[in-house]
Structure 1
Amino acid sequence: MGGQQAAGQPRGRHVRADAATTLLLAAEPAARGRLRAALDGVGGFRTVGEADDGHGLLRLARERRPGLVLMDAALPGPDALEVVHRLARESSRPCGVVLIVSGAVTEGSWVLGAARAGVRGFLREGQCPQEVLSAVREVAAGGITVGPDIVGQMLDALRDSHRPAPRQPHAGLSLLTPRERQVFRLVARGLTNQQISDALVLSEGTVKSYFNRVCHKLDLRNRVDAVILAYESGIAGAMLENHPAGEFAVPA
């Protein structure tokens, strides 16, 4: 299906050992080349294989046991969500999946389904190498990266679902400190830890610590849960009205 890429030993110190290898997949060979150029040998990442379609990806995943998979959501072969489900079922160790999405496959309900299926990162087609590297590092470190525009699509899907937002505050929200509320709202808007760090003038480690406390107090598993809770508590609507998804601003 696809060629196999030899590589040197991982060098990163901030990437989990099981996420220091990546298997890249894109519908076009040129896109694979751009991804490989952005990641190979940087921050501990190395390419262990490439595939042209979903069947090849699943085969290489079984053979190479990657810690990370970057895949085009519009790849030929099995539907991308089916590939994600099979990776989760068939992988002998946790495998972080980052989807590269385009307008053709980013209907809100599809994006929400992908997040619930276990996708841990979303990249827009054509994002710059530094954004690609930042997103992959976030996923490799155990986080989730979802851009503000993707968050907006998730919220649209939730609004269109049969379950109406109760518009009642979650009881646990009253337990959050002012700083924890700030971090929660920014996470729910899709900002990465680095973006929140820049906005609040905090270290990235401190941001992670705050969000861990938020997850504990609100019984959240991850960032997707934060988006859903923000919607169900009536917080998301106010955030998006006051701060458009593409605008970077810190809530008061």
Structure 2
Amino acid sequence: MSVCPNNYYAEPVYRTCSLTCDPPYFADPATHECVLHCVDSFADPDNNRCVDQCLSVLYPNADNSTNECVLECPDEPDYYADDHVCVFYCTTPAYYASASADGRLCVERCPNLTSSYNTYGDPLTGRCRETCSLGYYANNNTNLCVDECPSGSFGYNETRQCVALCPAEEGLYGDPFTHLCAYTCSEGYFGSQISQECVETCDGDPLDLTDVDYWGDALTTLCVERCPVKTYSYGENVTRTCVASC
């Protein structure tokens, strides 16, 4: 008999047709043989069979690098489980590869490593990362790396995070036009020392003598208490800007 009948497999040690294959062999339905390595299928150690899909509880993921069913996808190559298949890039839309205590998985939302320490889905790498790629900023509301921070927050280049308040000690202001922390505000905006944001109208009330008045200085794009001498020397109360003449 050249080929064993259906549901039997050629056992290489005793050269008999057997219903099962013993380790380290796997029953291959395609060839009706007990084989050491499965071809175009995956070796499932749970039942010693070559299978098209890895569905067992102990070995639920198909590793294409070894053609084996594994508990967890390998880190060499850098694989992650996506719908029970180990892949280098997650194929499920808007999913990111995450290596955490839960395993090497493709996830919809990147995990928080601690109560105050998150990872973020980076669209450039397809990975959950602790720091976003250059040009992207970490959004703590969604755990995503974004190229523009949401309204009310600003991209801080030092940490590549979206922050509600830019660091005053660094002379940075939140620019609502660019959604970035900037040393110089966009045209028509002025850096406010009160809100630490770029504003269209500087703070101040000329009728309130106890209040500190500020005017927008076009040269520095800052709100200043006193307009510079000789250049834009006068504070105009309606627009709250420094002007050359009243």
TM-score range, shorter chain: under 0.3
Which TM-score applies when normalising by structure 2?
0.26
Structure number with larger C-alpha Rg:
2
Which TM-score applies when normalising by structure 1?
0.25
Decide which structure has greater strand share: 2
Decide which structure has greater helix share: 1
Quick one: higher RCO (CA 8 Å, sep 6+), 1 or 2?
A: 1
